[in-house]
Homo-oligomer: A and B are copies of this chain.
Amino acid sequence: LVAFCSVAAALNNGVGLTPVMGWLSWERFRCQTDCTTYPDTCISANLYKAMADHMVSDGYADVGYEYVNIDDCWSTKERDASGNQVPDPERFPEGVKGLADYVHGKGLKLGLYSDIGTHTCGGYTGMEGYFKQDATTFASWGIDSLKVDGCYANTTIMNQTYPALSAALLSTGRPIIYSCSWPAYHGQLPVQYKLMAKHCNMWRNYADIQDRWSSVAGIIEYWGSANGVDYDDFVNVAAPGSFNDPDMLIIGNTPFTTTQEQTQFAIWAIAAAPLLMSNDLRNMTAGSKEILQNTEVIAVNQDRLGRQGRRISSEANGAQVWKRDLFDHSVAVVLYNSNENNTMTISFRFEDVGFSNVTQLHIRDLYQHKDLGTFVESFTSKTIDPTGVQMLKLTLAD
């Protein structure tokens, strides 16, 4: 067992062996830098400290959320005389290092953001030409994760630039989750999953998530089909240390229903996706918080086998069946009604979800927190609302 534990992860950085869990500012707080008018929601140390506070005080840390991640607009727009990146002095008066100390003091980890090109998407300093210097700086500040965006960059050489930055981060000796925005910026270039997996702990594959159901539904559809890319390669690349990233959890934001929030969380869990919330932890409904802290669903997401679940059927009426193999030889299943107008029930046979020749299974509902009983040969869901799911765990009857 010692040998098993001591071998390095794919990226040799030893972190991210299960999907990252935490919080990331972008989708909810964007690039608001006016702290005079918007003191509580501007991108500043105070915002991240508040989120760190609530991650601990409101129970998120207890169920596994760990990373507090800065996104765009934290720096000044120019490097200093030595060529170093500089945190905005008014919004981050103690620097990133001071914020890292605060976050670490809470038992959490701090993530930072930059860009593989000359500028970030918001026009702030990018890393082009400064990979080693910035990696050294960021490591000295004590960051634990780095999301690297792809604006203002030469997309045709991302298969060289992203790996080069990976090497620079590794050479710092500090374990840093490396989140790549590649192939999301890859344009029409073909996707090289093995290359991403070798150099990144996670990578964005598809469009930015937005606060509307069609955005979430579009991402789910991509995760169910890979949209023309080889679906086996897309699914199989996921493994401990390397995960496809469908973007942030937007649970807790308008305009989603509880039904839809359950759906996003269920699909992200079965997809072995990073669970990075982008919401306002100071203003969460009990319902949203309950979804985000559902330990049974989180356990599926964090399953150590690290296999990405896959969609195994998608009917014209919108009925979808997804399944994921788990380490204990149980199987997680999500029955997803993608139809936005009609309720429906969805059925599957046990052999469809990997239980060859198995007659009886115990089935548990992970949102109802209830054992539904022992079933024979097949299962038919409850009535599922439009855009809703039923999430199950299937275990062999002894």
Contact = CB atoms under 8 A, between A and B. Distances in A.
Interface residues of A, number: 43
A358 B192 contact: yes
Contacts of A240: 4, 305, 327
Interface in A319-354: 325, 327-329, 331, 351, 354
A237 B237 CA distance: 17
Contact of A329 (B1, B198, B351, B355): B198
A304 B357 contact: no
Contacts of A229: 356
B194 A396 contact: yes
A95 interface: no
A198 B331 CA distance: 12
Contact of A230 (B17, B328, B331, B356): B356
A194 B17 contact: no
Interface in A209-242: 229-230, 232-233, 236-237, 239-242
Interface in A113-168: 163
Q: Is the interface of A mostly helix, strand, loop or mixed?
A: loop
A14 interface: yes
Contacts of A236: 325, 354
A195 interface: yes
Nearest to A241: B327
B10 A396 contact: no
Contacts of A198: 328-329, 396
A368 B264 CA distance: 50
A151 B325 CA distance: 32
A18 interface: yes
Nearest to A394: B194
A178 interface: no
Contacts of A233: 354, 356
A193 interface: yes
A7 interface: yes
Contacts of A193: 356
